[in-house]
Amino acid sequence: MPMPANWLAIAVSALVVFMIGWIWYGPLFSKPWASGMGYDMSGDMKMDPKMLVVSYLLSFFTAWTLSTLLDAGQVADLAVALRTTLLIWLGLVATTFALNQVYDSRPWRVWAINVGYHLVGMLATAAIVTLWR
């Protein structure tokens, strides 16, 4: 039987993923991502605060879902949690993004940046919710 969700671990992991996104789409990959998306980075890009709230809420839902799946599989070992998360990412996230990529006519570097972010975020989430029981 799955263990009850650790809501604090889920909330913290969503915050961690949010911060990873800020670094990922900021200093690490903003230029190649924006270029691949066709955005002009010469001006000051401002984020709508609603987008930030929605981003956190979606990260929270992803963390809750991943936590629930790991709990349902009775995964308590970090290495198993990371391998399981990698398979979930590969089978659902990377492939879904790749299917969209085929029709989006954007450079594959955009796909790599986007799915790379989700991989790092999901692995961080798996580590947090597995170790923080």
Helix axis angle, 49-72 to 78-88, nearest 10°: 120
CB atoms within 10 A of CB 43: 7
Q: What is the pLDDT of residue 41?
A: 73
Domain boundaries, the chain: 7-39+46-131
pLDDT tens for residues 82-92? Answer: 999 999 999 99
Return d(Cα 97, Cα 77) in angstroms, integer: 28
Three-state SS for 127?
A: helix
Q: Tell me the three state secondary structure of residue 77.
A: coil
pLDDT at 47: 75
Kindly report, residue by residue over 4-52, the tens digit of the pLDDT. Answer: 579 999 999 999 999 999 999 999 999 999 999 988 777 666 778 899 9
Q: Give dist(CA 131, CA 74) in Å, integer.
A: 13
Q: Measure the CA–CA gap between 57 and 30, rounded to whole angstroms.
A: 22
pTM: 0.91
User: For residue 5, what pLDDT is reported?
Assistant: 78
Q: Are 89 and 122 in contact (CB under 8 A)?
A: yes
